[in-house]
Amino acid sequence: MSECKPTPAIAVRVNNEKVLLTETCTVLNALSKTSQFATRIGIRGRRGPCCGMGVCQECRVRINGKLALACLSFCRDGMEIVTEMQGPVDERCG
Ligand code: FES
Interval 51-70 mean pLDDT? 94
Q: Provide the pLDDT for residue 46.
A: 83
Q: Provide the pLDDT for residue 41.
A: 81
Name the residue ranges covered by the structural domains of the chain: 10-82
Closest CA to 23 of 6, 39, 43: 6
CB 85 within 8 A of CB 42: no
What b/e sequence results for 52-77 when a residue is b if at least 16 CB atoms lie within 10 Å of its CB, and e otherwise?
beeeeebbbbbbeeeebbbbebebee
| pLDDT tens by residue, 17-53 | 999 999 899 999 999 998 777 788 888 888 888 899 9
Question: What number does the ligand 1 atom closest to the CA of 54 have?
Answer: 3
Q: How far is the CA of 57 from the centre of ligand 1 (A)?
A: 5
Please name the fold of domain 10-82: Ubiquitin-like (UB roll) (3.10.20)
Average pLDDT, the chain: 85
Pocket of ligand 1 (CB under 6 A): 49-52, 54-59, 69-71
Q: Provide the pLDDT for residue 11.
A: 96
Q: Provide the pLDDT for residue 94.
A: 47
